[in-house]
Structure 1
Amino acid sequence: MNKFWVVCKQVIRKNIKSPSYIVLLLMPILLLGFMFGLAAIRTHTNETPQIAIISNSAPFRTALVKNKSKDYVVKRAVDTSKKAEKALSREKLDGYLTITLTGKQVSAVYKSRTNGNSLDTTSLKNTLNSLKMQQTAAQLGLTSKQLTQLFTPASFKTQSVSYTNGKERAQKNNQQDINSILAMVVTILIYIFMVSYASLIAQEVATEKGSRIMEILVSSVAPQIQFFAKITGMFALILLQVVITAICGLLGMKYLSGNIQFLKDIDLSQIQPNFVIILGLFFILGITLYTILAAGLGALVSRADQVSQAVSPLTIIGLVAYGASFVAMNSNTFLIKLGSFVPFVSQSIMPVRYAIGNASTMDAVISLVVLAVTIVLVTWFTTRLYTKHVLDYSDKKIWKRIFKRNS
């Protein structure tokens, strides 16, 4: 057991200093910093627009000026078109609104500078329409109570449901959208982690073979112990990155929700614990499957420059699974259903199907069980592969060696 931990620590110590792992580790931190920078720039550049309101009706203008809004600030002293044009040309205003009343008709024109702070005119339009309705109601002799009754909107509620095997399941409003976002985030992370760490573990094994260090290691540590120690060390590195990524994600959710629209729509209280557990299991098992197989493939190469050739099939399969997860968002064909139970692609497809309600909890559990059984079989196969080929420096093609010596 002492030898196991020696190899495990050596893998951690070696890779944690490597440029490739440092880049992986810093990627979420750099992304978070970039997003914070964009948010800061947006906060400083998107100042509240300074506007003026001009009208041939004093009561109308007074009502609009008194109306307080967080979307704009009204310069009360600017009350004529001449003053507004002068202030606009000197960049003391971002724009001005001209309201003209002709009989019962109300028309408005907003003039703005192209290099000024932009204004969302929705609030301004709503206030203007409200004043117009009040004016019309006064002309028609309607009381404030009648006006309120006239414009009270109809009660409207939404209810989200999903159907699995013809059975209806009620969901909280917006819950499916939140589940879909989480599923896609996990799918993206699965792909990034699978490709990155499959190459990293294969490179680890291949580098030792290429430098002939493996011959010394095998003479003192059994290949099986080496194999599992390297896998354990690699999972320690994965765990470290998962922790850092999770911390960055939580910080982003907390401090950037006011600047990024889709984060505003995420209500964390609607996230179901069982859904998070299932996503987490697919994440863990998917990465485990690819990492273990990549370690065995790394033992097949004779030199470090052959690693990309060895792991390319895994990379292609991972890319196909990643692409299929996006198809699963809008499709539930037979191939998508089948793929959600097939190891090597199920870790990307099933979470999406489960998130949008096209798969039941039982379907997800079955897929997880199949994935777990596959990992056990792949571990048995890969251990034998590693043991037989760890000192194999043959120049024969990689895949020919697999089928010839493991048949």
Structure 2
Amino acid sequence: MNKFWVVCKQVIHKNIKSPTYIALLLMPVILLAFLAGLAVIKTHTSETQKIAIIANNAEFRTALVNSKSNGDYTVSRSLTTAKSAEHALAHEKLDGYLTVTIQNKTISAVYKSRINGNTLDTTNLKNALNTLKMQQTAAQLGLSTKQLAQLFAPATFTTKSVSYTNGKAQAQKNNQQDINTVIAMVVTILIYVFMVSYTSLIAQEVATEKGSRIMEILVSSVAPQVQFFGKIAGMFALILLQVIVTAICGVFGFKYLSTNVSFLDKLDLGQIQPTIIVILSLFFILGIMLYTILAAGLGALVSRADQVSQAVSPLTMIGLISYAASFIAMNSNTVLIKIGSYVPFFSQSIMPVRYAVGNATTFDAIISLIVLAVAIALTTWFTTNLYAKHVLDYSDRKIWKRLLRRS
């Protein structure tokens, strides 16, 4: 056991100082800083647009200016003629001006803006104009304010979300599925990023020691199986550290960006179900374990460190396919997607999405997790033997021929 911890600590000590791991560790921090910078730039550059309103009816113009309740633009009250508004626009004192013409009970409006000015969303301006037109028309028809309100009162419209388990409907909060889907996609993305990063890192770790012939000395004092599990444990410790850093950045990032990104602001974290967090976390842990363990065995097949990419490329390709399939699973529940959600090396990406969108039950997810856990046990047994047999193999045969002949 003492030798196991020596190998484990050696892996941690060696890799935690490497530029590759430091870059991985700082990646979420850099991403958070980048997104925060974009939010700051957006806040400082999103100035309130300044416009003018010109109309051939002074009473209508006053009503339109006073009807503005939205803070996305301000109206210059002193500019009342098209000539003065055009002069201000030309000298970049306005972002645009609205010209309203009332003739024969018909209202027409033209908004003129500068190309290099702040862009105005004219929706609120159109709504205010339409409201005044309706009020004017109602007055002409002799309708009271109460009658006008009744005429244009919107219909009551509500939405309800339900999920079905064994044919029985279960009510859910309206945006609960959106939250579940977002969490599932975040977990899937993290699985892919961690898988690509750490399969290469663990394979490189084994290949570097093997290529430098240090492995011959290590094997003489530490059994290959002890080395294998020590390296895996050390790599998992490094993964855990990055998970903690990523989680901290995610919490702070969500709290900061939710005030600047409308989509995040609509997500209520209080609606997150504990069940989905547990299941998605298990898929994340088991998925990373499966790929990392197999990558360690593949690293033992190479003779030099420059052969690592060749050894792990099939594994990363499978990971890429499963990652792409997770996006298909968001909007599709075909037979292939269903089968893939139970197949190890694919299920860690597909089943979380199927479960989040309601295409798979908790029982389905548990079955998939059990299959994945069995696959990890078999892969560990296979990879341990593979590592022990090939860790001192320096032959020039191609990697996969070496695997087929001697494993």
Matches of 2:112 and 2:369, distance apart in 1: 60
Q: State the partner residue of 1:123.
A: 124
Matches of 1:305 and 1:115, distance apart in 2: 53
Deviations along 1:100-153, one digit per CA (max 9) or x if unpaired, are 111321111111111001111111111111111111111112111111111111
Code of the residue aligned with 2:98 in structure 1: it is: L
Code of the residue aligned with 2:124 in structure 1: it is: S
Matches of 1:140 and 1:235, distance apart in 2: 76
Q: CA RMSD in A?
A: 1.5
Matches within 5 A, 1:4-403: 4-66=4-66, 67-164=68-165, 166-403=167-404
Matches of 2:56 and 2:76, distance apart in 1: 17
Secondary structure (helix, strand or coil) at the match of 2:109 reads: strand
Number of residue equivalences: 406
How far did residue 405 of structure 1 move? 2.8
Matches of 1:115 and 1:396, distance apart in 2: 65
Matches of 2:22 and 2:126, distance apart in 1: 52
Secondary structure (helix, strand or coil) at the match of 1:154 reads: coil
Worse-matched range after superposition: 21-30 or 87-96: 21-30
Deviations along 1:357-396, one digit per CA (max 9) or x if unpaired, are 1111100010001101111111111111112221221222
Secondary structure (helix, strand or coil) at the match of 1:116 reads: coil
Matches of 2:109 and 2:165, distance apart in 1: 53
Code of the residue aligned with 2:183 in structure 1: it is: L
Code of the residue aligned with 1:335 in structure 2: it is: L
Worse-matched range after superposition: 268-277 or 59-68: 59-68
Matches of 1:167 and 1:323, distance apart in 2: 31
Worse-matched range after superposition: 328-337 or 342-351: 328-337
Matches of 1:170 and 1:265, distance apart in 2: 20
How far did residue 5 of structure 1 move? 1.9
Task: Note if contact 1:164-1:358 (Cα within 8 Å) is conserved in structure 2.
Answer: no
Deviations along 1:10-46, one digit per CA (max 9) or x if unpaired, are 1111111212212212221221122112212211222
TM-score for the superposition, normalised by structure 2: 0.96
Q: Percent identity?
A: 75
Matches of 1:100 and 1:193, distance apart in 2: 62
How far did residue 318 of structure 1 move? 0.7
Matches of 2:291 and 2:405, distance apart in 1: 23
Task: Note if contact 1:50-1:73 (Cα within 8 Å) is conserved in structure 2.
Answer: yes
Matches of 1:330 and 1:383, distance apart in 2: 39
Matches of 1:194 and 1:105, distance apart in 2: 65
Matches of 1:250 and 1:133, distance apart in 2: 48
Matches of 2:175 and 2:70, distance apart in 1: 29
Code of the residue aligned with 2:144 in structure 1: it is: T
Matches of 2:70 and 2:357, distance apart in 1: 39
- Segments of 5+ residues of structure 1 without an aligned counterpart are none
How far did residue 290 of structure 1 move? 0.3
Matches of 2:44 and 2:292, distance apart in 1: 45
User: Following TM superposition, where does structure 1 have runs of at least 4 consecutive aligned residues deviating by more than 6 angstroms?
Assistant: none
Code of the residue aligned with 2:70 in structure 1: it is: S
Matches of 1:316 and 1:219, distance apart in 2: 35
Code of the residue aligned with 2:330 in structure 1: it is: M
Matches of 2:53 and 2:88, distance apart in 1: 12
Matches of 2:404 and 2:115, distance apart in 1: 68
Matches of 2:167 and 2:114, distance apart in 1: 57
- Segments of 5+ residues of structure 2 without an aligned counterpart are none
Matches of 2:304 and 2:279, distance apart in 1: 39
Deviations along 1:68-109, one digit per CA (max 9) or x if unpaired, are 321101111111111111111110111111111113211111
Code of the residue aligned with 1:7 in structure 2: it is: V
Worse-matched range after superposition: 129-138 or 195-204: 129-138
Matches of 1:169 and 1:319, distance apart in 2: 34
How far did residue 165 of structure 1 move? 5.1
Code of the residue aligned with 1:72 in structure 2: it is: Y
Worse-matched range after superposition: 277-286 or 259-268: 259-268
Worse-matched range after superposition: 159-168 or 102-111: 159-168
How far did residue 261 of structure 1 move? 3.7
Deviations along 1:178-208, one digit per CA (max 9) or x if unpaired, are 2222211211111111111001000000000
Deviations along 1:312-366, one digit per CA (max 9) or x if unpaired, are 1111111111111122122211111111001010001111111111111100010
Task: Note if contact 1:95-1:110 (Cα within 8 Å) is conserved in structure 2.
Answer: yes
